[in-house]
Structure 1
Amino acid sequence: MRVYGWLMWSVGLGACAGVPGGGVPSRYGFDTVRGGCARNPALCATLEGQRVPVAVGVVAGTARATLQSLDVAGLQALKKEMEACADQARTEVLVGHAGAFAGPMPTAKECKEMTVDGRGRSVTWAIRLGVEMHEVALRCAGEKLERLRAGGYLLEPRYRFNRKTGEKSLVGEEEKAALLRQGGEGLKGTLEPDVVLHAGDPLRVEAVFDFKFRCVNFTKSPDWRTYPSGHTYAGRNQGDVYQEAFGPRVDLIGPRSEWSW
């Protein structure tokens, strides 16, 4: 999101909210804004001020002493917490838009219809709902992780990854903001997962969670996307790239199948 330099690749449907050139793919995912931002970070420079106010995770995640490494049970417990955040995001956002659609959830046709977001931009409902769900999910994740794993997580960190050496480095918030002001060229090819878990060192990643929200059929398990033509990782599966950079513990997080109000 965000809205975010690499925001939701399902939040947006083809491009950053409110920027020209956006398209609507057949799956009506909520995470395509992320894809548009990744292809051209400069398009999302104006969205940086809308970052979810949970940056405490970034600070805590880099400042505290080494934590206990996550075992399988611990990781699964945190994954369930993130799934609960996705459920909360879906419910909270759709309830907030009650009456906007013919039913409690938008249809494929309604997902493609235009609306005006909170900043006055003309976007599809798929983009608007996805951005809003992503914001709620990240806020929820930050609150839970600050309680359950303070000092051992990052929200939306940006990494440079050298595929030849396997090394990665963290892009600081000030550097990222400066690069965005310069047009975003220096951020191309960087990776920005939603949630990174670590044991005190952000470069020693223990697990990654990425939120994905569909606009229709959103109870179906989310899928990793294929990077588009022109991208640094064009033709590759996003999940495969994440595993190459961050290790095997990489999971997509979407709402669980049961619907709840």
Structure 2
Amino acid sequence: MTFLLFVACATPPRSGVGPSGAEGVTRYEQSLDSATSGCMRNPACYSQPGSEAILPAVGRSVAAARGVGTALRILDAAELARIEQLLIQCSKAADQEVNEREYGPGKKPDDAECERVVRHVDGKPLRRRMELGTMKHAVAFACVRRELSRLFPDNVSVEPRYGFDARTGRPVLTERWVGSLRPDVVIHFAKEPSRVQCVYDFKFPCTKASKSNPLASPELLQQLERYEALGGHCPPAIITPQLGVSRD
């Protein structure tokens, strides 16, 4: 049953919920003041066309609609569009937040800085682009938990880990690392994370080439192919600050 929500801007209180376990994440959350969160607090804010669109804060309307019962089992196309725009805003905010904190206002790393080896971990080089990517993921996750999970708490999971039931072959939540998958953001049936609707991964390209064509990476394409085993109603996608939603 399709359940359409017709909502206007509202200004629900901030939840203040954030991720844990990553060094410096609390500081990232406190310093993040993106266009997305600004819109969420502005009753005059309306969504705008294009990749720069800012989503309206619809928390109270969504909560009221959910009170009707269990009709909201799966999100409709309009709600998914809102979610994708919010993911883009979180991605852009994280990219800008970390670049400016690390390099100064309006600055970002060049290709040489992206490829600079910061240190070696287990004998393998850790490059600056990898380090920046970890920082930006932390900020993006904080944004998603603070805003998107507040609007659609029953339908959104951040970094869920999936295994596969040996008897049915269907995805199930697991704590096992071996053979499991852990997408960044999963949209699913209400309160049923194992019934996947859409899968998204944040990517933060650093070099000029990767920014213009992030799907050129064979490893990334293989990752999206593995996510297809989780099922869903849309192909797995990546979210980048430069191109927004990209699918193979």
TM-score by length of 2: 0.60
2:199 match: 208
Contact 1:85 1:141 in 2 (8 A): yes
Structure with bigger RCO (C-alpha 8 Å, 6+ apart): 1
Alignment length, in residue pairs?
Answer: 175
Whole-Å Cα distance in 2 between the matches of residues 138 and 169 of structure 1? 22
Please, which of 215, 230, 241 is the counterpart of residue 226 of structure 2?
Answer: 241
1:113 match: 116
Deviation at 1:84, TM superposition (A): 0.6
Matched letter for residue 254 of structure 1:
T
RMSD: 3.3
**After superposition, what is the alpha-carbon deviation per residue over 1:190-210, rounded to whole angstroms, capped at 9, x for unaligned?**
000001112221111111111
Work out which of the two has the higher radius of gyration on C-alpha atoms and give 1 or 2.
Answer: 2
Deviation at 1:134, TM superposition (A): 0.7
1:90 equivalenced with 2:74 (yes/no): no
**After superposition, what is the alpha-carbon deviation per residue over 1:58-79, rounded to whole angstroms, capped at 9, x for unaligned?**
xxxxxxx854411122111100
Say if 1:256 and 1:164 are closer, same or farther in 2 by CA, change over 3 A.
Answer: farther
Structure 2 gap ranges (5+): 1-19, 30-68, 120-124
Matched letter for residue 50 of structure 1:
A
Whole-Å Cα distance in 2 between the matches of residues 221 and 71 of structure 1? 29
2:215 match: 223
Please, which of 196, 208, 213 is the counterpart of residue 186 of structure 2?
Answer: 196
* SS at 1:208 equivalent: strand
1:109-148 alignment, distance < 5 Å: 109-115=112-118, 123-148=126-151
* SS at 1:154 equivalent: strand
1:40-189 alignment, distance < 5 Å: 49-50=21-22, 66=70, 67-99=72-104, 104-115=107-118, 123-161=126-164, 165-171=168-174, 176=175, 186-189=176-179
Whole-Å Cα distance in 2 between the matches of residues 241 and 154 of structure 1? 18
Whole-Å Cα distance in 1 between the matches of residues 94 and 219 of structure 2? 26
Matched letter for residue 84 of structure 2:
K
* SS at 1:129 equivalent: helix
More strand by share: 2
1:254 equivalenced with 2:226 (yes/no): no
Deviation at 1:227, TM superposition (A): 5.0
**After superposition, what is the alpha-carbon deviation per residue over 1:76-117, rounded to whole angstroms, capped at 9, x for unaligned?**
1100100010000110010101259xx92222211122347x
Say if 1:220 and 1:115 are closer, same or farther in 2 by CA, change over 3 A.
Answer: same
Contact 1:151 1:200 in 2 (8 A): yes
Deviation at 1:166, TM superposition (A): 3.5
Q: % of aligned pairs identical?
A: 33
Deviation at 1:155, TM superposition (A): 0.7
Contact 2:163 2:181 in 1 (8 A): yes
Deviation at 1:252, TM superposition (A): 0.8
